[in-house]
Amino acid sequence: MSTGSMSEKIACDVLVIGGGAAGMMAALQAAWAGARVVLLEKNEKLGKKIYITGKGRCNVTNACDLEDFFRQVPRNPKFLNAAVRQFTYEDVTSLLEMLGTPTMVERGNRVFPQSEKASDVTRAFARGMKDAGVDVELNAEVSHIMKDGDAFAVQFARGGVLRARSVIVATGGVSYPSTGSTGDGFRFAQENGHTVTPLKGSLVGLTIGEKWPQLLQGLSLKNVRVQARMGKKTIYNEQGEMLFTHFGVSGPLIIELSSHMPEDYGAVSVTLDMKPALTPEQIDARLQREFTENSRRQLSTVLVGLMPSRMAPVFAQLCGLSPETPINQITREQRMTIGAMLKGLPLRVDGTRPIEEAIVTRGGVNVLEVASSSMMSKLVPGLYFAGEVLDVDAHTGGFNLQIAFSTGALAGRSAAAYALES
Ligand SMILES: Cc1cc2nc3c(=O)[nH]c(=O)nc-3n(C[C@H](O)[C@H](O)[C@H](O)COP(=O)(O)OP(=O)(O)OC[C@H]3O[C@@H](n4cnc5c(N)ncnc54)[C@H](O)[C@@H]3O)c2cc1C
């Protein structure tokens, strides 16, 4: 591949910026559609983020039906309709199998490579791209994209320009920037007239200003229910596992809740139901029984039967009681408070951990300005977007990679068709 001046002849049909999940898929599909494809990746290797997905095992997709899939996408699911229908989870798994990386389905329909190695996913794409004739250039950071007549001039940070008939921006979001996702694509989009919706971290821990969660740091609660309400509206209500940390709360339920949190954290009341299987009446009956049987003991001793022992003294204090309070001195009103707190312990969320720590970026290139049928910009013909750079994000479970693969495949095929027709 050569780089040169703006006047240089067109070097390729489709130029893909970013060698992550979306970019590699786009490059492969464009090449299979007959286009001459160049992929530029600023890192020294492809798929740095893929290496850390699924704790190194890469949860590549989710074997759920389409309705379930769209339920896992809190923002702009309709925009993904065409992309995900045209490139389903089965297309992802058959493609990986064809490229020598067979997959397996685990709990919750999560799909992983059978080798349990995320690196095999990247290797499969690298092999596929090589066989398809994609020209992959590493250590190639793009600094600007400009429409130049009926083509694009793509400038390198190190100097030099490459001209292409169409360009696919697959530069990811801004989370885990050490993987190369530093938000360059948002700038490219803006320079080409696009708007970028506000960027926030999603799938990330939530901070709590109060000190008590820190005392429970490392403690995980299983089979609890987390509920979040904004006024009368329930914005989240799920059962599962959560974790107390040095900053507040995390774990699967909280990570998922983070993708539903609005800008104004103060407007949301988040509560923890520690006994979701019991009604308030059943809880009170249980407390009455325990209190009768243990009337000479201290409150924390009885609470230990209802929660992990580390939590009992903290919980007593949250109920306004000393952990040493003798049971026979607890009033009916105090017992009712304990019951109410077991069913709805308030978690006063005041923010999220930094976006850099988020699993996915919320916000991105405004999907109203991108054609969902092709991933092409509605403002600049020949310019395409794919993956996390778009304002779409989903829950954990393989859905974010499926979004990258589906939008990447659609962008690749469409960009090839556009370039070959023009
Ligand atoms: C810790 C962690 C675990 C995760 N686990 C899962 C999981 O198991 N399953 C799942 O579905 N999702 C998971 N995700 C989310 C998923 O990894 C991402 O949503 C997905 O990888 C996004 O793919 P992408 O191709 O759009 O962007 P990226 O993977 O971010 O790729 C963008 C690429 O573009 C390159 N680039 C950026 N700017 C330039 C430039 N100027 N010039 C050239 N190249 C550039 C970057 O170096 C990078 O390689 C996880 C995320 C994290 C952080």
d(Cα 85, Cα 264) in Å, to the nearest integer? 34
Whether residue 21 has its Cβ less than 6 Å from ligand 1: yes
CA of residue 349 relative to chain centroid, distance: 20
User: Which of 245, 302, 239, 296 minimizes the C-alpha distance to 273?
Assistant: 239
- Look at residues 352, 371, 386 and tell me which one is the last residue of a structural domain: 352
Using one digit for the tens of pLDDT, what is the confidence trace for 334-383? 999 999 999 999 999 999 999 999 999 999 999 999 999 999 999 999 99
pLDDT tens by residue, 303-322: 999 999 999 999 999 999 99
Query: Do 345 and 367 reside in the same domain of the chain?
Result: no
Same domain flag for 411 and 369: yes
Same structural domain for residues 68 and 163?
yes
Of 320, 352, 384, which closes a domain?
A: 352
Q: Where are the beta strands (DSSP E) in 86-127?
A: 103-105, 110-113
Taking the centre of ligand 1 as the mean of its atom positions, its distance from the CA of residue 101, in whole angstroms, is: 19
Residue type for 91, please?
D
| Interior angle at CA 416, CA 77 and CA 185, nearest 5 | 55
Do 137 and 117 share a structural domain?
A: yes
284 and 347 belong to one structural domain: yes
Phi, psi for residue 75 in degrees, rounded to 5: -120, 130
Q: How far apart are CA 134 and CA 262, in angstroms?
A: 42
Domain of 215, in residue numbers: 205-352
* CATH number of the domain enclosing 99: 3.50.50.60
**Is 157 found in the same domain as 45?**
yes
DSSP string for residues in 81-132: HHHHHHS-HHHHHHHHHHTT--EEE-GGGEEEETT--HHHHHHHHHHHHHHH
* Whole-structure pTM value: 0.93
Q: Is the CB of 342 under 6 A from ligand 1?
A: no
Sequence-ordered alpha helix ranges (H) in 265-394: 280-293, 299-303, 311-318, 332-343
How far, in Å, from the CA of 50 to the mean position of ligand 1?
A: 6
* 76 and 180 belong to one structural domain: yes
- Paired residues of 206 in beta bridges: 249, 352
φ, ψ at 185 (rounded to 5°): -65, -30
- Residue 385, both tokens: 């977007």
Q: Answer yes or no: are the C-beta atoms of 415 and 384 closer than 8 Å.
A: yes
> Ligand 1 centre and the CA of 131: distance in Å?
23
Let me know whether 407 and 344 are in one domain: no
> So what's the pLDDT on residue 4?
43
Q: Are residues 328 and 241 in the same domain?
A: yes
Side chain identity at residue 386, one-letter code? A
Supply 361's token pair: 């970026």
How confident is the model over 192-215, as pLDDT tens digits? 999 999 999 999 999 998 999 999
**Among 352, 371, 393, where does a domain finish?**
352
Is residue 2, in this structure, part of any structural domain at all? no
Domain count, the chain: 2
Q: What does the pLDDT read at residue 8?
A: 63
171: Cβ below 6 Å to ligand 1? yes
Ligand 1 contact, 25 CB (< 6 A):
no
What distance in Å separates the CA atoms of residue 354 and residue 242, rounded to the nearest whole number? Answer: 19
Quick check: is 4 in a domain? Answer: no
Which atom of ligand 1 sits closest to the CA of residue 140? Answer: 43
pLDDT of residue 9: 80
Is the distance from CB of 122 to CB of 20 less than 8 angstroms? no
Same domain, 238 and 147: no
pLDDT averaged over consecutive 10-residue blocks of the chain (422 residues)?
53 97 98 98 98 97 97 96 98 98 97 98 98 98 95 96 97 97 97 97 94 96 97 95 97 95 88 97 96 95 96 98 97 97 96 94 97 98 98 97 98 98 88
Q: Using the mean position of ligand 1's atoms as its centre, give its distance from the Cα of residue 146 in Å.
A: 24
Tokens of 1: 């591949």
- Tell whether ligand 1 has an atom less than 6 A from the beta carbon of residue 360: yes
Closest CA to 58 of 8, 99, 119: 119
Task: Give the C-alpha separation, 400 to 405, whole Å.
Answer: 9
pLDDT tens track for 252-264: 999 999 999 988 8
Using CA atoms, how far residue 384 sits from 140, 152, 277, 391, in Å, is 19, 12, 49, 14
Compute the C-alpha angle 355/358/359, nearest 5°.
Answer: 145
Assigned domain for 5 exists: no
